[in-house]
Structure 1
């Protein structure tokens, strides 16, 4: 089993790893850190929570030179929150280096003061640039940010970059960089539409798909709870208040639904934070900071927060239904049970969502069915067993059973259709016979009277 000491890194990196209590590399780190240190381009496909951020940060800090006052590495992310998270991780790494070896880090995201950033860049260019594609492109095209000197470009959560329409911005950034660029692409999935971009800028990259033993971490208790006609608002409130979660995240499929849940919980006396697209960037940033400082115990969010937002100490996840994009289910649940800690994820579903539940199970997710009764979660009936029991089968007489077996042995085209017709014909014959018998009985009774 590999150890970080096998990579012969700078002392500042080892001090940072000790401070973060990183004892040994995750599978994606073990496979890709040595390759990145060799200067090769890579495509790393791995699920959320697998340690992708430090897979690229560790080799980046090994190569950053604080004495060269120019942009050396660029990290692009699809969301402001993820950029902020990577920035904080990079700051933790920087703080472990001697002051003379500390690189300058710049964070540039949409929704922040662009003119102030331009003013800062006129005095000094950062060695490490972290930001959202649109803002980085704007700053470069305005002449404020000298991205063209960078030797390494990281595209984090590339599939989300594609989905949100940021790929043209990343393309413009990559097109301004040297031909011998080292590109590091990390993503949970590699969509077909992303491949032309990768082929354009990457020459024989090392491609690693890191399989996961289980889709959901074994430290997560994954509960399925049918609403049974009850109000989801009532259920969410009961689930949040029947225990004392360290930090609880409630996920909604839409911004409108997130606002409804948050409003309902506030009316019931809970202090709730909201994270979704209708919250202004600066307010979202302040809210995230307050969550980090444990000012809130309950957070209601859309899937904006399910990708890459690492909020420490989340002990409870509640899904207000199953997301339309099933991949987000894994990202939602992955906000808890991190770093070996235990967590609980509860998914509410209506009867009409049976198909969605089955699709999530096809991803490899194993649910534990439960019911909520008198403020307590109790083992429930497996919905699959219940559905199987509800199916009624037509009982065939021995003659029909023999016919079915005979037809199956012949295995000729259309035999299933013929069997079905024979069964229907037999059923109709029995109904007519029973009806005639009933009529005879009625006539006999009438004559006797």
Structure 2
């Protein structure tokens, strides 16, 4: 891997990178920066934590005309937090290039004040959320006459949140010569028509193939065995000592219960989700970065794109339905030269998901508690065997004898042995199915009893 100095960046950028202690480019930076310097269209698949933000920030800053106070580059992000983060990363270089003008325009802030601001001066770069971009454009507050590059960051999330139509509208109004680049963790089939519409002959870069198997991350499976997940979570927390731990849930509605549980048990915990007011959420992110909390309970959407340093542990209360989100979750830890652990509380219903993740190159350790209540690694294959209730020999013999007695007086026809064998096999399978049904009924009854108790009722 080369050095940043090999890219031929302007001196102020190299000076800033030295102060940031960015010595060598990451894989995504090494591949993307030269292409954007040459004003190429790029589709880049890269997960959080790969350094992708600076892979487009640096070439944008390198290509700007600092004598021209007109919008030359637009960076669209799905969330306010990510927009502010990118804005801060760009603004850092203003110390080295005072003529740099960058603006951040997001929802939840006074749009009239933003329109007034744009009326006085147009920044060279705007970092903006999709709907606010459209609103400002419709208010005739944006001058795109000198626009040369348009970056869509976390495009898959923009699509998932239903904002892609706002971006589509803006791109349909800008000059065809504007270079469009897309950065995304995944590219869904339904997103491809949009990409084909606006990106002509793009360069395709996929660094996920290498980052999904980050050797710095240890993936651990913890069986719940139909226990209350809150109680299992407390046992896991008692066994670890994190610097900063992110705890992920699949639904926002789950957060209050786990938040109260941890707080009642003396843990320094906060919650991060889209339901928080924008100002409160911004304050919470700052407090997390200041290490005021050791544990953060979050949803995938709320945590996406927020750069948090020092995450040593990640815990998934359950595997997400979209397994791509697990890659994002685990990718919050094990960054740079640091190692990290990603724990997953799982049940038998998750085994197909685990198998899929393994096919993507992730290796899981299976851990459980020993007699001393310590987490230890055990053979992973044992719990994976699908439960197959076995019919006892006596039960099969009874069925066969009944069958023989029932059919002794019947006239023997050609092929009767084969037919008899098939019917006996079918009867045997029927007994097995009855065993499975009875087992399921038993489990359902146990779960029903659990649901009757309070969610985190202590034993």
Partner of 1:208: 205
Partner of 1:18: 18
Deviates more, 1:195-204 or 1:72-81: 195-204
Partner of 2:75: 75
**In 2, Cα distance between the equivalents of 1:279 and 1:225?**
30
- Establish whether residue 170 from structure 1 lines up as the match of residue 182 from structure 2: no
Following superposition, the deviation at residue 137 of structure 1 comes to: 1.0
Partner of 2:125: 128
Following superposition, the deviation at residue 420 of structure 1 comes to: 10
- Establish whether residue 47 from structure 1 lines up as the match of residue 47 from structure 2: yes
Q: What SS class does the counterpart of residue 297 from structure 2 fall into?
A: strand
Q: Deviations along 1:38-64, whole A, 9 cap, x unmatched?
A: 111111123332221111111001012
Q: What SS class does the counterpart of residue 337 from structure 1 fall into?
A: coil
Following superposition, the deviation at residue 126 of structure 1 comes to: 1.1
The answer (yes or no) to whether the contact 1:240–1:248 under 8 Å persists in 2 is no
The answer (yes or no) to whether the contact 1:28–1:51 under 8 Å persists in 2 is yes
**In 1, Cα distance between the equivalents of 2:307 and 2:20?**
14
Partner of 2:189: 192
Q: Deviations along 1:61-84, whole A, 9 cap, x unmatched?
A: 101233211111000011112212
Following superposition, the deviation at residue 423 of structure 1 comes to: 6.9
The aligned length equals: 404
Specify whether residues 375 and 147 from structure 1 end up closer, same or farther in structure 2 by C-alpha distance, changes over 3 A only.
farther
Partner of 2:275: 278
Partner of 2:445: none
The answer (yes or no) to whether the contact 2:103–2:125 under 8 Å persists in 1 is yes
Following superposition, the deviation at residue 271 of structure 1 comes to: 2.8
2:109 to 109, 112, 120: 112
- Establish whether residue 333 from structure 1 lines up as the match of residue 322 from structure 2: no
Q: What SS class does the counterpart of residue 110 from structure 1 fall into?
A: coil
Q: What SS class does the counterpart of residue 149 from structure 1 fall into?
A: coil
Partner of 2:293: 296
Q: Deviations along 1:272-306, whole A, 9 cap, x unmatched?
A: 21111211111111111111111111110001144
**In 2, Cα distance between the equivalents of 1:115 and 1:154?**
25
Within-5 A mapping of 1:241-320: 241-320=238-317
Q: Deviations along 1:226-256, whole A, 9 cap, x unmatched?
A: 0123322122233334433111110000001
Q: Deviations along 1:316-350, whole A, 9 cap, x unmatched?
A: 11100111111101101111111121111110012
* Backbone CA RMSD of aligned residues: 2.6
**In 1, Cα distance between the equivalents of 2:109 and 2:334?**
32
Q: Deviations along 1:346-366, whole A, 9 cap, x unmatched?
A: 100123322332233233221
Partner of 1:403: none
Partner of 1:381: 379
TM-score by length of 1: 0.83
TM-score by length of 2: 0.82
Specify whether residues 107 and 393 from structure 1 end up closer, same or farther in structure 2 by C-alpha distance, changes over 3 A only.
same
Specify whether residues 208 and 229 from structure 1 end up closer, same or farther in structure 2 by C-alpha distance, changes over 3 A only.
closer
Specify whether residues 65 and 376 from structure 1 end up closer, same or farther in structure 2 by C-alpha distance, changes over 3 A only.
farther
**In 1, Cα distance between the equivalents of 2:109 and 2:172?**
25
Q: What SS class does the counterpart of residue 344 from structure 2 fall into?
A: strand
Specify whether residues 267 and 39 from structure 1 end up closer, same or farther in structure 2 by C-alpha distance, changes over 3 A only.
same
Partner of 2:448: none
The answer (yes or no) to whether the contact 2:239–2:375 under 8 Å persists in 1 is no
Following superposition, the deviation at residue 268 of structure 1 comes to: 2.0
**In 1, Cα distance between the equivalents of 2:232 and 2:318?**
12
Following superposition, the deviation at residue 152 of structure 1 comes to: 0.6
Specify whether residues 371 and 111 from structure 1 end up closer, same or farther in structure 2 by C-alpha distance, changes over 3 A only.
same
Specify whether residues 69 and 198 from structure 1 end up closer, same or farther in structure 2 by C-alpha distance, changes over 3 A only.
same
Q: What SS class does the counterpart of residue 336 from structure 2 fall into?
A: helix
Specify whether residues 114 and 421 from structure 1 end up closer, same or farther in structure 2 by C-alpha distance, changes over 3 A only.
farther
1:141 to 138, 142, 151: 138
**In 2, Cα distance between the equivalents of 1:364 and 1:184?**
28
Structure 2 unmatched ranges of 5 or more: 394-416, 429-459
